[in-house]
Every structure is written in structure tokens, then in C-alpha cells.
Amino acid sequence: MNPAPSSAADTLHDMIGIGFGPSNIALAIALDEHARQQGALDVLFLDKQADYRWHGNTLVSQSELQISFLKDLVSLRDPTSPYSFVNYLHKQGRLVDFINLGTFYPCRMEYNDYLRWVAAHFADRCRYGEQAIAVEPQVNAGQVEHLRVVSLDAQGRQQVRRTRSVVVSAGGTPKFPQPFAHLRDEPRVFHHSHYLERMAQQPCVQGKPMRIAIIGGGQSAAEAFIDLNDGFTSVQVDMILRGSSLKPADDSPFVNDIFSPAFTDLIFGQESAERERFIREYHNTNYSVVDLALIERIYGILYRQKVSGQHRHAVRCLCAVDAATASAQGIDLSLRDTATGATETRRYDAVILATGYERQAHRQLLESVEPYLNEYQVGRDYRIQAAPGFNAAVYMQGFCQASHGLSDTLLSVLPIRAEEIAASLYAFIGRQGLPATSVGTEALLAS
């Protein structure tokens, strides 16, 4: 690690946002609106990507947004905002064509372009290619006065910045299941979050035959299955899932009410056991489920195989991967039928882990300030509750599902959440030294 040639340590920012994905882009817009009424705060966002892309390696041509475009970065709060998806379409000269498509669900490539278009308006307050690695307390006379955000740029140079507050919106971390843990550096085994770049290196790009296993039975697994079927005629795919079938995502209208802003209040107002019950009850809106249209496509592909007698792909349900080993010949998976207990070993040329994401990045980033935080309990304003004497503010977006409900990791309530955090931040900055949601925990720990 090399220190940066010049240090920004002298500047005291009002807020540093970690990550510049949809959550913090929405916050940048909300802060901009406040700035016009209340004066600008000194804010800076850091994103580790060299150039912003929304889950860029998953943008296969057939993937679609799984939420109405009306739930863009602003419209729920202010449909007249210049940062709406409709205005983006208008500025691109595609509004009429989009209307003619007759859909609420643009392709994800287009939504990525929309997010990039909005992000570009805030380029002056974002540093790309900088990965935040730690948030540290700056202690004076037993009080945490400010925070230090330590980051590394692409050359490994360290930068330290001081700030009154931090908003952690770093997104999910790809899940690598235990049987594959020792294969992290194996180029033939990769997580779906790297799909496009890793597929571009596979022999099937040159038309060579390949057997590929997709592990998982959710939306990403289904999208990869369709992409491999459509794009690589030399590939034979096995989709391997523990579940007994591919299940559809419930996006029926009454159920969709749980993604309304009002539902956040309802969830937050419950005891933790009741919150957990709600989240379990509606798990099938988002986790290990697939869009019905995609399920029907996959079923159709398998049915046509039966008609032709050419069995190219398979969906292997009730199937657990107990072990994986790599050799020059391929990746051997030890598979177990969870219904019968029967085991077999199958060899593949590549394995795609469509195994989802963990929400743990905040714990790593905030490790140094964790002793001051009340076990990451957040207030309604997404601010982590802290010990008295912790005079900085730490907010989180995307790590509050347990307290704020299933919308928290999605795009569902971005405009409302951004406004709630912006209002809380303005109140906090206006009341330095009187934290908005400090709790009566034990006295401030010595640093």
C-alpha cells in the first residue's frame, strides 16, 4: 500500500458516501434538492468501479428490470424531477418508441444506461476507481469527533479523508458456497456477477463444445441458462438446484404492496420476531424465484428437446453439490439427490455460481467503529444507533432488510429512502454534537 502523493485529510466533508450505485445516486439527487433550499453540504461519493455500471457483468441482452420503470430514482417522490426515467427517454429521443413497446419493464441494459446518465450529472462529487477499505474513528478527549474514510485507488495508493458522516451503500457481496470455497482462483469456476467477462474467455466463444453447470435456481441462474442456450450452440447446460422445481416470483398486485413506502413504516413498527415473520412470508417475492415468463421459456426449451429426442440441457432439481474438485480434465461435482440420497459425480468444463449475494460489506468497512455502534441497530432514518459521545453519523442503505423490510436491498423505495436520509443528514449537520439517534448504551469506549 503506497500513500497518495497528496492527502485530502485536511478537508472535513459533511458526508462521504461509500458506493455510487442506485442507492447513493438517489441520495445525491435528494441532497441536491435540499441544497437549493438549505444550502449545499460538502458531500463526496466513492465507487470502486473505474466507470459506473449497474451489475455490468450480468447485462445479458435478454435481462429485464424486475420492477416498474416508474420506481426509478425519483418519481415516487417527485414525478416532475429532471432525473426521471421518462425524462431520460425523452432526452435520448426514445420516448415514443418506448411507449410503443407497451412495457413497464425496460431491459436492464437500458436501465444501466439511465443510471449512468443520472450519475454523470453528479460526476463532480464522485471519485471512481477508489475502494473504501475502512471507516475509522477520530477521537479527541474521549469523544469521536469525526470519521476517517480510508480508500485505495487502482494503483494501490491510499487516501484518507475526514468526514462528519458516512452513508454505506456498498451493495451485496457474491456468495461462494462452501464446496467451492477452495476454487476462488479457478478460472473455470466463477460467480454470476462476473458472467460476461468470464464467459468471454471460455472456449465456447470459438464454437468449441463445453459442458457448463449453473448452480442455483433463482433469476440469475435462469438468465444464464437462457443466454447460454441462445448465444452458444456448442454449450450443453445443467442447471443444478436444491429446490424441487423452479418457482415463480410472486409479483401479484396485493403482494406488491409490501414494496410500497408505507410498508416500511409498518415493518419498522413491529417487534423483531414479527419483522422476521413478514420477511419469511414474502421471501418468494425476491429470493430463489424466477420471472414466470422465463420459467415458461426454459420449460419450452426442455419440451422441444423431448420432441426432437436431442437432450442438450437439463434442469436437475433436488440436487445438492457436496464437493467440487478441479483437474486438467474438468471440474468434478459430487452430486446428491436430496430425495433418495443417491450420489453421482459429473464432470463440467465450467461452473457458474448463481448463488446470490450476502449483505456483509458494512461489517468489514465499519469494523473500527463497531465498538461504538449498537450492533448495527438502525433508527427509522437508517442511521446506526451509537453510544453517547459518538458525534459522527453512520447511515446504511441495503443492509437494513431486517428492520425496514424486503424493499431495502431493491430499487423499490429509493426516492423515499433517499429523502429520509437527506433530511436526517441536514438535521444532523445542523446540530453537530447532538446526534439524532444516539442511544443510552454504555459510556463511550476508549479508542
Q: Which of 171, 216, 218, 435: binder of ligand FAD (CB under 6 A)?
A: 171
> Which of residues 110 and 145 has its CB atom nearest to ligand FAD in the complex?
110
**What gap in Å lies between CA 377 and CA 384, rounded to an integer?**
6
Rule CB under 6 A: is residue 415 a binding residue for ligand FAD? no
Closest CA to 46 of 194, 173, 168: 168
Q: Which of 27, 58, 163, 191: binder of ligand FAD (CB under 6 A)?
A: 58
The one segment of 35-43, 49-57, 325-333, 424-432 that binds ligand FAD by CB under 6 A: 49-57
Q: Which of 112, 403, 409, 437: binder of ligand FAD (CB under 6 A)?
A: 409
| Residue 114, C-beta contacts closer than 8 angstroms, at least 6 positions apart | 72, 85, 88, 106
Q: Which of 56, 398, 405, 415: binder of ligand FAD (CB under 6 A)?
A: 398
Rule CB under 6 A: is residue 60 a binding residue for ligand FAD? no
- Ordered DSSP codes for 152-197: EETT-EEEEEEESEEEE----EE---GGGGGGTT-TTEEEGGGHHH
The one segment of 62-70, 117-125, 205-213, 290-298 that binds ligand FAD by CB under 6 A: 62-70
State in angstroms the smallest separation of the CB of 54 from ligand FAD. 6
State in angstroms the smallest separation of the CB of 187 from ligand FAD. 21
State in angstroms the smallest separation of the CB of 431 from ligand FAD. 27
Q: Which of 15, 16, 18, 167: binder of ligand FAD (CB under 6 A)?
A: 18
State in angstroms the smallest separation of the CB of 144 from ligand FAD. 21
**What gap in Å lies between CA 8 and CA 149, rounded to an integer?**
11
Q: Which helix (H) or strand (E) holds 128?
A: strand 126-128
Round to the nearest angstrom and report the end-to-end CA distance of the chain. Answer: 24
Contact code string over 328-347 relative to ligand FAD, x by CB under 6 A: --------------------
Q: Which of 30, 267, 400, 411: binder of ligand FAD (CB under 6 A)?
A: 411
Rule CB under 6 A: is residue 67 a binding residue for ligand FAD? yes
Give the three-class secondary structure for 435: coil
Closest CA to 53 of 81, 20, 29: 20
**What gap in Å lies between CA 95 and CA 169, rounded to an integer?**
31
Closest CA to 164 of 42, 278, 318: 42
Q: Which amino acid is at 221?
A: A
State in angstroms the smallest separation of the CB of 169 from ligand FAD. 5
> Which of residues 198 and 319 has its CB atom nearest to ligand FAD in the complex?
198
Identify residues 177-236 at the interface with ligand FAD (CB under 6 A): 220
Cα 3 to Cα 93, 133, 395: the distances in Å are 46, 14, 28
Length of the chain: 447
Closest CA to 23 of 419, 427, 385, 437: 419
Q: Which of 17, 21, 56, 218: binder of ligand FAD (CB under 6 A)?
A: 21
Asked if residue 378 lies in contact with residue 385, where contact means CB atoms within 8 angstroms, the answer is: yes
Rule CB under 6 A: is residue 305 a binding residue for ligand FAD? no
Rule CB under 6 A: is residue 48 a binding residue for ligand FAD? yes
The one segment of 182-190, 275-283, 318-326, 410-418 that binds ligand FAD by CB under 6 A: 410-418
Question: What residues line the site for ligand FAD (CB under 6 A)?
Answer: 18-24, 46-49, 54-55, 58, 65-67, 131-132, 169-172, 220, 361, 397-398, 409-412
